[in-house]
Structure 1
Amino acid sequence: MKHVAAIMGLCSAVVCTPVHAENARDILVNAAFGARDKGAALARIGQALASADAALKRDPRDENARLQRALAISYRGKLTRSRADVIAARREFEALVVADPRNPETHLALAGWHLAAVIELGPFMARTVLGARLAAGNAALNRAIALGGTHAAVPALASLQRIQIDPSDVAGARRLAETAVVASANNPFDRLMQRQAATLLVQLRKGDGMAAASLAKLLMPFGRISA
């Protein structure tokens, strides 16, 4: 199903996490930004899923491992066009938000689920095919920014998605990217996303929203791999 390819769970690692769950996160980041083809990406996603499953076997209450597992399923769903996977991932993101409403990572993941579908399919088809909604995505993204906006990954990802949602809002995306490049970047993922924001910012400062939106798509997780 081509529509399922729209969904992309966001890699997010804003707060300090247990070592075993962090390993799953690092594997996912490597898959999202380092894999050169779909096969390699899926293999790495499988490894991350196994790592998260092992962490949950050790501690079923490990919410970060649950998040990494949901992200892995979301990524797998995007690349294999599995509607079952992407719907399962959304339900887990929603459950995690309920379990810990003050965790910016879970809000960021849920925002990415909704907004990626809207970007790829448009609001009507995203809602009809997958139940994704622009308003829900924006609300979750705003909550993530409010809770974790001092960490570079949050405003960086917000900038990348906002310019794709509305290429005319160059000023808004630019503000977010500028926030990201001066924000705290104390872990590898924050530093990676800070670099992505800096790359996007060059285009945003030229004032060309359509060109910036095209670049933002490439800078997103799995942006250079066709589903």
Structure 2
Amino acid sequence: MTSRFALLLTGLASLALAGPALADASGAFRDGKWPAAISQGRAEATPASLTLAGRAQLAIAAYDTRDKAQALALVQRAEADFDAALAKNPGDIAAQMQKAVAIGYRAKLTKAPGLAKDARKRFETLRDAHPDNSLAWSAIGGWHGGAIATLGNFMASTVLGAKSAEVDRNFGQALKLDPDNPSLRTIYAMTLLDLNAGNAARAATVLGGIGALPARDGFEALLRAQGVQLAAALKAGNVKAAQALARRLQAFGTLA
């Protein structure tokens, strides 16, 4: 266990003991205070707060963890929180969505095709039942793009059923539903660059004005900052460097 991960666990333990002095889970998540969101989310133990606790762990796992085993452990703990939320309210859309994200993350970390297919099926079920849910559309676009970028067109299609046309179709609808969401724009731009450096101009267009978009919570603020960084790299004109940056900034892009 690295010292950084040990400090994180120590911090979580101390937050759990701190009690009422802490902000609520919603406020902590809004401010990007992940350990507080985890501790308070579990303490409040509502479907919404447990979902925020899980989301905070996914953020730490995907963007602030360097070791694959530690990242996987955090994802599994997050999934347990989503399961707890769903046990209280099986119809909770946010918990269902994040449960699918966690399964997709486990698929990516363990290279398990079965889990990847499970995640896509869950995303599609949510999208079909709730066609106004921009996150479901975005997740499906990211799923197809990530599969193709990782395996190549032929293998992704053969093994997982991924289709390149689904990337733009799903991200396009996500942005129609929520055009000012900086996280959707950043993830779309990263996906485009991960697929092909030739998508640089399109990625730059997607990221246009991203720094001025409002961030409604800590996750959107994190992704907006990444989008600003990526937009600057694209503006500098070094497409290969921008592509490398996109791959490094994406979820689990810095795992050892």
TM over 0.5: yes
Give the letter aligned to residue 22 of structure 1.
Answer: L
Q: Matched residues in 2 for 1:179 and 1:164: separation? A: 21
Task: Report what 2:168 is aligned to.
Answer: 138
The counterpart of 2:183, out of the listed 136, 145, 153, is 153
Structure with more helix by fraction: 2
SS at match of 2:207: helix
| Match status 1:55 vs 2:85 | yes
Distance, in Å, in 1 between the alignment partners of 2:237 and 2:94 is 38
SS at match of 1:181: helix
For residues 74 and 126 of structure 1, the distance between their equivalents in structure 2, rounded to whole angstroms, comes to 15
Paired residues for 1:3-14 under 5 Å = none
| Cα deviation, residue 174, structure 1 | 1.1
Letter in 2 for 1:220: Q
Task: Write the deviation string for residues 18-46 of structure 1: whole angstroms up to 9, x where unpaired.
Answer: 32212211111111001120111011001
AA matched with 1:222: F
TM-score by length of 1: 0.88
Cα distance in 2 for residues equivalent to 1:179 and 1:156? 11
**Counterpart contact for 2:186–2:223, Cα < 8 Å:** yes
Map 1:100-139 onto structure 2 (within 5 A).
100-139=130-169
- What is aligned with 2:24? none
By how many angstroms is 1:215 displaced?
Answer: 1.1
- What is the CA–CA distance in structure 2 between the aligned matches of 1:55 and 1:193, rounded to whole Å? 25
Equivalent in the alignment of 1:178: 208
Ranges of 4+ aligned residues in structure 1 off by more than 4 Å: none
CA distance, structure 2, for counterparts of residue 135 and residue 33 of structure 1: 28
- Return the offset for 1:180: 2.3
Residue aligning to 2:14: none
Q: Which residue does the alignment assign to 2:43?
A: none
Deviation at 1:53, TM superposition (A): 0.2
Residue 182 of structure 2 contacts residue 215 of structure 2 at CA under 8 Å; is this kept in 1?
yes
Q: Is the 8 A contact 1:56 1:62 kept in 2?
A: yes
Give yes or no for the alignment of 1:77 onto 2:121: no
Structure 2: 5+ residue runs without aligned partners? Answer: 1-28, 30-46
Q: Find 1:20's aligned residue among 26, 29, 50.
A: 50
Structure with the greater alpha carbon radius of gyration: 2
Q: SS state of the match for residue 64, structure 1?
A: helix
Map of 1:224 onto structure 2:
254
- CA deviation profile, 1:158-185 (whole Å, cap 9, x unmatched): 1111122231232221122223222111
Q: 1:80-125, CA deviations, whole angstroms, 9 ceiling, x for partnerless residues?
A: 1111111111110110101100111111111111000111222222
CA deviation vs aligned residue, 1:49-70 (integer Å, no higher than 9, x gap): 0000000000000011011111
In the alignment, structure 1 residue 35 sits paired with structure 2 residue 65: yes
Question: Aligned letter for 1:135?
Answer: A
Equivalent residue for 1:206, pick from 236, 240, 252: 236
Which residue is 1:3 aligned to? none
2:93 and 2:254 map into 1 onto residues whose CA distance is 29
Q: Percent of pairs identical after alignment?
A: 33
SS at match of 2:125: helix
Question: Alignment partner of 2:236: what SS?
Answer: coil
Does the 8 A contact of 1:169 with 1:209 survive in 2? no
Structure with bigger RCO (C-alpha 8 Å, 6+ apart): 1
What is the alpha-carbon root mean square deviation over aligned residues?
1.6
Residues 42/183 of structure 1: CA separation in 2 closer, same or farther (3 Å cut)? same
The CA deviation at 1:152 is: 1.0
What is aligned with 1:194?
A: 224
Alpha-carbon displacement from aligned partner over 1:126-150 (angstroms, at most 9, x marks no partner) = 1011111110122111111111121
